[in-house]
Amino acid sequence: MRDSLRYAVKEVWRRKKRTAGAILSYFFVGAIVVVVSSLAGVTRDTAQSVLWNVGAHSVAYSPRLTIYGCCIQTFATDKYDPDREGFVVNNAPTNIISEEEIELIRQSPYVLDASPYLMFRIRSFLGSGEWLIGGIDLTGHDVYPYTVVAKSQVVEGEFIEHGEDNRIMVEDDFAGTYGLEVGSELQIGDFAYEIAAIVNPPLRPGKANIYMSLEGLRELIETRLDEIAELPINAVLIESLGARYHDQAHADIASILGSSSRITSYGCYQPSMMAMGINDRTAWIITGIVILCMLLVAMKIQYSSVIQRRFDIGVLKAIGWRDENVVIQVMTEASIYGITGGIAGVAGAFILIHLLPGDLFGDGGRSVDNYVVFAGLLLPVAGGLLAGILSAFRAARLQTADILRKA
Amino acid sequence: MENKPILKCTNLTKSFRIRKSIIEILKGVDLEVYPGELIVIKGRSGEGKSVLQWLLSGIDAPDSGEILIDGIPYNKLSSEEIANVRRQKIGLVFQNFNLIPSWTALENVESALLNSNLSAVEKREKAITILENMDLGHRLDNLPLELSVGQQQRVALARALINRPSLIIADEPTGNVDDETGNEMLNILLSYVRENNSAMVVTTHGHFTGIDLADKLYLLKDGLLVPQTKGQPEVTAAG
Ligand SMILES: Nc1ncnc2c1ncn2[C@@H]1O[C@H](COP(=O)(O)OP(=O)(O)O)[C@@H](O)[C@H]1O
Ligand SMILES: [Mg+2]
């Protein structure tokens, strides 16, 4: 046994090119497994965190059939246009939601946070049409950036802050339509607002044309309606526990706001999750094919090395080597190739991962999971041993007499 | 000779299928080899001398018939046991020496000790000693192709003799070398055989300087061993 090991080491050392070829192939197998898994893991994590947030944030409201309504007195003033103005979300007239209801929603186990939002439709003061205004509670809630507009979506100017009730932000398209610029003024009803920012949020459940503070919008609404519920709110911005709890959160909210209530989020998160899965699978299939090819190359090198040595093996068997000697030697060589290649590959992958720019890796950083390291080692070793077994059997089956006759 | 034969075979047959026809090479070979005997088997090329030698050394198996090595039939032994028999009892000398080209002289000789109970150091020392006795002490680390034909031949003989075999099987050992080298080999083999009371079976296609020394001379023809008469040998190989 020890002798066979010695002969294997000698053989590995003597045939440097072959050894380099086999080890290099296993090196690539190990390295590809680790690098691709950690990059794929990171992209998957990032993608999922995006989707997670997408699914986790939504807007709840309680639609009603008509703008004229129960809870608010809708006496038309001379300024107010009852057919066009009112509390509207997603083009639907809405009921008023109370602070207590928001508090109850907050207490649902599937809801992380809930914050008030006010959406009011008002007639246009520049030509015909209507404008949709969003009143944001700017007092430090984490939900509006995901459901309404985020600081990162400012195209020009500054995001408004709490207390700036006479400053507004307008959507890019809206600004374009009416030729509005940062710093210019916009008259809405009785008030003149300074445009603090032009923003461009993507499709969002709480999307409006104009954004201002909750307090500022309430002040404006007071001048439009004769009688109004104190501190009106008609939407709740919700952060649920995660995309998966969307349905449970909805059920809880429905039991609080009534069965006709709606909860909106991006409808695309489910199909995009599926698409992401397909992409993921494609990447893995390609990786798998590459790995398989490298494995085959390495195994071919090992196998043909045995065929090349058939003369040596025949002579050694003739002078008294046992089959087991040959098998152990070939298997030892195979293990050396697989283990060395695997370890070098994993080590190389770690180095590569640390050389790659850090922003390729998400919050998890450059850490590599243990099971990935394990797979990076296992595959080359398993490949080496499999090739070893195949070629060892081939070597053992070689007929000494045949070999000697052809020598 | 009252002692037991080291090798005894009875009625060996061997045929090969070449394409669709079956060619009988050996058709019933009987042979007894006693310790100390030099057996020479003559035969034209293609008569089956190598085939017979492989059967005798257990490298190949006959279609029928029995071969006893030291009284034990090969066909009762596992392939591992046959390998052990070959290592411990048989020294093989090949026509082309069959040294492993990528191994040094020392490694080639040492390889014959693989399954012996010696330690690595002992194996090395034993191989060095026998090579030194063959005047190759200064060429231990040379590859076969870096040695002269005569030196390669001595490496091959060192490998064949290092386990002190009681039977030497040499298949046309002088077939590929000049007379001088051939005689050198013969001297080495004969002195080994005499000193150890070993037996030797040599095949030749005619040109073999040791024919006169043979205890028994055979002609392999048409698949049979035909005993040949020859003049009384001047020296017998037996001690
Ligand atoms: N494995 C084999 N398959 C087919 N034919 C073989 C095989 N081994 C030997 N032979 C044939 O047997 C005959 C005798 O071969 P061999 O013993 O090598 O002759 P020689 O007397 O020259 O040593 C040859 O015709 C050879 O082709
Ligand atoms: Mg021959």
* Residue that wins the pLDDT comparison between A150 and A54: A150
What's the pLDDT score for residue B206?
74
Please check the confidence at residue A230 and state whether its pLDDT lies above 90.
Answer: no
Give the Cα separation of A190 and A183 in Å (integer).
19
Ligand nearest to the CA of B175: 2
Q: pLDDT-based confidence at A75, cuts 50/70/90?
A: very low
Q: Would you call A148 helix, strand, or coil by DSSP?
A: coil
**Among B215, B212, B207, B170, residue whose Cα is nearest residue B188:** B170
Mean pLDDT of chain A: 83
Q: Contact at 8 Å (CB) between B62 and B12?
A: yes
Contact A321 B83 (CB under 8 A): yes
Q: pLDDT-based confidence at B231, cuts 50/70/90?
A: low
What does the pLDDT look like over A315-334, one tens digit per residue? 999 999 998 888 998 999 99
Residue B162 Cα to chain centre, angstroms: 13
Q: Contact at 8 Å (CB) between A171 and A209?
A: yes
Q: Which residues of A touch B50 (CB under 8 A)?
A: 404-405
Q: In this structure, what DSSP letter does residue B231 have?
A: P
Residue type at B220 in one-letter notation:
L
Nearest to B54 among A316, A322, A401 (CB): A401
Alpha-carbon distances of B79 from A130, A142, A177, A400, rounded to whole Å: 97, 79, 94, 12
Ligand nearest to the CA of B51: 1
Q: How many helices (H) and strands (E) does chain B have?
A: 6, 10
Give the Cα separation of A332 and A338 in Å (integer).
10
CB atoms within 10 A of CB A145: 19
* Residue that wins the pLDDT comparison between A202 and B209: A202
Contact B86 A323 (CB under 8 A): no
Among A79-83, A87-91, A103-107, B195-199, the minimum mean pLDDT is found in A79-83
Work out the percent of chain A whose per-residue pLDDT is above 90. 28
Q: Which residues of A touch B100 (CB under 8 A)?
A: 311-312, 315-316
User: Phi and psi dihedrals of A309, rounded to 5?
Assistant: -95, 15
What's the pLDDT score for residue A293?
86
Contact A407 B159 (CB under 8 A): no
What's the pLDDT score for residue A290?
84
What's the pLDDT score for residue A273?
58
* Residue that wins the pLDDT comparison between A120 and A366: A120
Please check the confidence at residue B234 and state whether its pLDDT lies above 50.
Answer: no
What does the pLDDT look like over B21-37, one tens digit per residue? 999 999 999 999 999 99
Contact A315 B79 (CB under 8 A): no
Please check the confidence at residue A42 and state whether its pLDDT lies above 70.
Answer: no
Give the Cα separation of A338 and A382 in Å (integer).
7
What's the pLDDT score for residue A363?
56
Residue type at B88 in one-letter notation:
Q
Question: Does residue B56 line the site of ligand 1, with CB under 6 A?
Answer: no
Highest mean pLDDT among A51-55, A235-239, B105-109: B105-109
Quote the ligand 1 centre to B51 CA distance (angstroms): 6
What does the pLDDT look like over B56-82, one tens digit per residue? 999 999 999 999 999 999 999 998 999
What's the mean pLDDT in B175-203? 90
* Chain B residue closest in CA terms to A312: B100
Q: Would you call B13 helix, strand, or coil by DSSP?
A: strand
Domain boundaries along the sequence of chain B? 35-61+78-228
CB atoms within 10 A of CB A90: 16
Q: Which residues of B touch A14 (CB under 8 A)?
A: 102
* Chain A residue closest in CA terms to B89: A320
What's the pLDDT score for residue B233?
44
Q: pLDDT-based confidence at A141, cuts 50/70/90?
A: low
Please check the confidence at residue A142 and state whether its pLDDT lies above 70.
Answer: yes
Candidates B93, B99, B115: best to mutate against A (most CBs of A within 10 A) is: B115
Q: Would you call A391 helix, strand, or coil by DSSP?
A: helix
Atom of ligand 1 at shortest distance to CA of B53? 17
**Among B165, B106, B13, residue whose Cα is nearest residue A318:** B165
Q: Which residues of B touch A400 (CB under 8 A)?
A: 54, 59-60
CB atoms within 10 A of CB A40: 16
The helix (run of H) or strand (run of E) holding residue A293 is: helix A269-308
- Min CA distance, B164 vs chain A (Å)? 13
Please check the confidence at residue A37 and state whether its pLDDT lies above 70.
Answer: yes
What's the mean pLDDT in B85-107? 93
Q: In this structure, what DSSP letter does residue B215 have?
A: S
Ligand nearest to the CA of B45: 1
What's the pLDDT score for residue B224?
94
What's the pLDDT score for residue A77?
53
- Min CA distance, A29 vs chain B (Å)? 30
What's the mean pLDDT in B39-47? 93
CA-nearest residue, atom 4 of ligand 1? B16
Among A78-92, A296-310, B102-116, B158-172, the minimum mean pLDDT is found in A78-92
The three-point CA angle A382-A383-A386 to 5° equals: 85
Q: Which residues of B touch A399 (CB under 8 A)?
A: 60
Nearest to A318 among B92, B107, B163 (CB): B92
User: What sign does the CA torsion over A210, A253, A109, A231 have?
Assistant: positive
Question: Does residue B55 line the site of ligand 1, with CB under 6 A?
Answer: no
What's the pLDDT score for residue A370?
82
CB atoms within 10 A of CB B128: 16
User: What sign does the CA torsion over A319, A324, A326, A332 have?
Assistant: negative
What does the pLDDT look like over A283-310, one tens digit per residue? 778 888 888 888 888 888 888 888 888 8
* Residue that wins the pLDDT comparison between B145 and A80: B145
CB atoms within 10 A of CB A113: 14
Ligand nearest to the CA of B171: 2
Please check the confidence at residue A270 and state whether its pLDDT lies above 70.
Answer: no
Question: Roughly how many angstroms between the first and final C-alpha of chain A, as a whole number?
Answer: 28
Domain boundaries along the sequence of chain A? 2-50+273-406, 56-267
Give the Cα separation of A284 and A341 in Å (integer).
21
Quote the ligand 2 centre to B96 CA distance (angstroms): 11
Looking up tokens 């898994």 gives: A37
* Chain A residue closest in CA terms to B92: A319
Give the Cα separation of B215 and B200 in Å (integer).
10
* Residue that wins the pLDDT comparison between A133 and A36: A133
* Residue that wins the pLDDT comparison between B210 and A211: A211
Q: How many helices (H) and strands (E) does chain A have?
A: 12, 12
Atom of ligand 1 at shortest distance to CA of B220? 21
What's the mean pLDDT in B89-113? 93
Strands A185-188 and A191-199: antiparallel
Residue A389 Cα to chain centre, angstroms: 43
Q: Would you call B91 helix, strand, or coil by DSSP?
A: strand
CATH topology of domain B35-61+78-228: Rossmann fold (3.40.50)
Tokens of B229: 């008469």
The three-point CA angle A252-A254-A257 to 5° equals: 110
Q: In this structure, what DSSP letter does residue B232 have?
A: P
Residue type at A218 in one-letter notation:
R
Residue count (chain B): 239
Question: Does residue B44 line the site of ligand 1, with CB under 6 A?
Answer: no
SS (H, E, C) A189-242: CCEEEEEEEEECCCCCCCCCCEEEEHHHHHHHHHHHECCCCCCCCCEEEEEECC
